[in-house]
Structure 1
Amino acid sequence: MKTKVGLWIDHRKAIVVTVTEKGEDIKEIVSEVEKQPRRSGDSPLKGAYESHQVPADDSLQRNFTGQLNIYYDAVISYIRDAESILIFGPGEAKDELKERLEENNLGRRVIGIETVDKMTDQQIAAKTRQQFAELR
């Protein structure tokens, strides 16, 4: 059975539309990525804001990158068996995911990457159906 996937992704969530001969399925994968990690310690309004209370920028970036990698791995595990993958979304996540797919030797399955804005689940499903109908 040939499985085709349309994937709308940003850093907060991924909407996966899987199209097979039996029909289509829509799944949402929510990321645990925190774009602006909270700083520990007291508020600067409550007293001295010492430098050791603020995490270093590189540790925040490492934490952010680690969370993204976990999120991308969850998406990849869900779409791993797809024969063809169309990736679209508004920001950098689509390109970052493509790099992860290439690292996992799945990059050749990506048939296209497109920049689009926010879409409803039905719009994502319609775009996926239209794309794969054109490839037949």
Structure 2
Amino acid sequence: MEKMNYKSVGVWLDQSKAHFIGYQDGEATFIESLISPHERIKREDGEESDTARFSPNPSVLSNNEYRKNNIAQNELNEYYKMLEDKIGKFEDVLLFGPGTAKDQFKNRIAENKAFKKKWISVQNADKMTDNQLLAFVRDFYKS
């Protein structure tokens, strides 16, 4: 990421990965990709259902669901922290991608004082090919 000093960056992200696309002088270039430590579907060996074993009501859940949720939230927080570290040096940031990850990340950095003076935009976008990613960032910053 140290090759060129980009002021503007487009970040396509979802909860599993992020692609950084630098923009400078009308040209968009891939900088790097970041893989999330968050696993969407995690199954441990010997794992059974999340219901309580001796409960007469089968809808009563055990502490296992609470523990799984905490693990998932901690992994997402670690991923968002890694993203914060990567975009900290850019002045203009475009967050785009499918789902809600871009909105969750925008809300997280809105609370961070280090990002108060940075220009951050959020756009909806589906999954794209590499050329479509470059064109999306190029078109966004040209207009």
**Could you state the TM-score of these two structures normalised by the residue count of structure 1?**
0.79
Uncovered stretches (5+) of structure 1, i.e. residues with no partner: 45-49
User: Aligned partner of 1:77: which letter?
Assistant: D
1:108 CA drift (Å): 5.3
Q: Which residue of 1 aligns with 2:118?
A: 109
Q: Which runs of 5+ in 2 are unaligned?
A: 54-61
Change (3 A) 1:103 1:129: same
- Residue 41 (structure 2) pairs with residue 36 (structure 1): yes
TM-superposition CA deviations, 1:60-118 (whole Å, max 9, x none)? 11111110111111111111111111111110100111012112231553442122110
1:127 paired residue among 129, 136, 139: 136
Q: How does 1:1-136 map to 2 (within 5 A)?
A: 3-21=7-25, 24-26=28-30, 27-41=32-46, 51=53, 56-105=64-113, 106=115, 109-134=118-143
8 A contact 2:27–2:138 mirrored in 1:
no
Structure ranking higher in helix proportion: 1
Q: Percent identity?
A: 29
SS at match of 2:127: coil
Q: What is the RMSD computed on CA atoms of the aligned residues? A: 2.6
Tell me the TM-score normalised to structure 2 length.
0.76
Shift of 1:59: 1.1
The one-letter amino acid of 2:72's match is F
One-letter amino acid matched to 2:142: A
